[in-house]
Amino acid sequence: MGFFKDMAAMFKKRELLFISSSKEAEDIYTFIFEKHSDLTWQAGQYGLFSITHRKVKNPTKPFSIASAPSENVIRLTMRIGDHPSEFKKAMLELKQGMTIKMSGSVGAFSMQDNSPSLLIAGGIGITPIRSIVKQIESEGSQSGQPIHLLYLDSGQSFPYKEELDSISSRTAIQVTYLSSREDLNQEIDQFASQYKDSGKYFVAGPKAMVESITDYLQKNGIPKGNIKKDAFFGY
């Protein structure tokens, strides 16, 4: 049923009205759009977003929705470097009143049970995980199960750090900031040794990092079914 539901969502396109943009870090930008009243998504899912105000090469790209459903806006956060794609150049051109199109939402990168959970974000992979922790904050966790976020950023810019610290102070979500893979592996080992097969693992970030961490988890006895992945491709 999930496959057919995703396919149906992809065929439905909506125009999103641009509200504002901001800079999260040196090369990280956030774009906020109005949310249609009939648009729903699960925290952690993504959509397909299309540039409409001018012609660009490859006008449609997938992005995780960084906002939680409870926030009532669509928030996209992306890395835009010195030599951006035509798509990202067009994003920077957006002004109030302009629109983009969205199909979706889709994806299975969401928390659906009350298991002990380890959220692992690498760099811009924080976007779907921000959505998840914001929704947990909004709903309030009733399970009492531990939720630990490991945020790896070798550049130590940590977009959303101030907000994540605030969420951590008001909830039972623990946040650990890391700058090396060695430190990340140590934290994973601690969680895995404590919760073993009862834990769930959510890994989001660049494709190579996600696959590497997934391999590490499986080599350490974590069942494939306990791991959810959200890999980001560069464009």
Structure tokens at 189: 């080992």
Predicted confidence at residue 1, as pLDDT, reads 42
Domain extents in the chain: 2-106, 117-232
* 149: pLDDT strictly greater than 90: yes
Lowest mean pLDDT among 37-41, 70-74, 171-175, 179-183: 37-41
**Domain 117-232 is found in CATH 3.40.50.80:** yes
pTM, full prediction: 0.90
With a cut of 80, say whether residue 144 has pLDDT above it: no
Domain 2-106 has CATH 2.40.30.10: yes
Concatenate the DSSP letters of all residues of 70-91 into one string: GG-EEEEEEE--SS--HHHHHH
Angle of CA points 201, 111, 200, to nearest 5°: 25
Q: What is the pLDDT of residue 112?
A: 78
Residue 10 binned pLDDT confidence (cut-offs 50, 70, 90): low
Whether 2-106 shares its CATH topology with 117-232 is answered no
Residue 4's pLDDT is: 41
Q: Which helix (H) or strand (E) element contains residue 6? A: helix 2-11
CA separation for the pair 151, 121 (Å, rounded): 5
Q: Dump pLDDT digits (tens) for 114-138.
A: 889 999 999 999 999 999 999 999 8
